[in-house]
A and B are shown apart, each in its own frame.
Chain A
Amino acid sequence: SQELEQSPQSLIVQEGKNLTINCTSSKTLYGLYWYKQKYGEGLIFLMMLQKGGEEKSHEKITAKLDEKKQQSSLHITASQPSHAGIYLCGADDNSGYALNFGKGTSLLVTP
């Protein structure tokens, strides 16, 4: 089965700093999804990447997909306290119906 490894597990950054979260798959990536989860709450969709080399941005968050490395990265520019939460990467297991998720990266942004 596919395993998604996220790094780092947790991150504390000062407000205004940039940061990157990585997600590496043990198998070929057919689609990569980034979600954000606030503690004890549901998942909020951020971005979906489907093609190698694809890069998407939303506000100060940019995600890239490196198909050859079976890896995706999520970059936050000029972090704010509102960026705090758990970032999850999810991947299509090639069935077209199920998402496998990584364990998440916990982000805390300090003033």
Chain B
Amino acid sequence: EPEVTQTPSHQVTQMGQEVILRCVPISNHLYFYWYRQILGQKVEFLVSFYNNEISEKSEIFDDQFSVERPDGSNFTLKIRSTKLEDSAMYFCASSRQGLNEQFFGPGTRLTVL
């Protein structure tokens, strides 16, 4: 069964460093998303991406964040200068058509020290 994969599973970084979180969505999906979940809190939408551009982003997704689909298979989330409050589980998701059934990856746990 096809699945969304994410790497790394756990990333530890120093405050102020740049991190890139990687995702491989399901191959025939056209819509891609990033969500995050701070420990003990709800899952929060960050950004959606379709047709090589951002279709929607939340207030959380400020200038420190960027997304890219560098090739036909990867979808990345970059945080330019990490802050302590960026520590969270980051989930990538993809869907074939709009908001129909989003498939989530297992997540990357980001720890900022």
A-binding residues in B (CB < 8 A): 4, 31, 33, 35, 41-45, 48, 50, 55-56, 58, 89, 91, 93, 98-107
- On whether the beta carbons of B48 and A101 are closer than 8 Å, the reply is no
Is A83 at the interface (CB under 8 A from chain B)? no
Chain A residue nearest in CB terms to B103: A45
Q: Is the CB of B56 within 8 A of A42?
A: no
* Number of chain A interface residues as a range: 20 to 34
Partner of A97, one of B41, B55, B103: B55
CB <8 Å contact, A42 and B105:
yes
Structural contact, A45 and B56, CB atoms closer than 8 A:
no
CB distance from B44 to the nearest CB of A (A): 8
Interface CB pairs A-B, < 8 A, 24: A33-B101, A40-B89, A41-B107, A42-B104, A42-B107, A43-B93, A43-B104, A45-B101, A45-B102, A45-B104, A48-B100, A48-B101, A88-B43, A92-B99, A93-B45, A97-B50, A97-B56, A98-B45, A98-B58, A99-B35, A99-B99, A100-B45, A101-B43, A104-B42
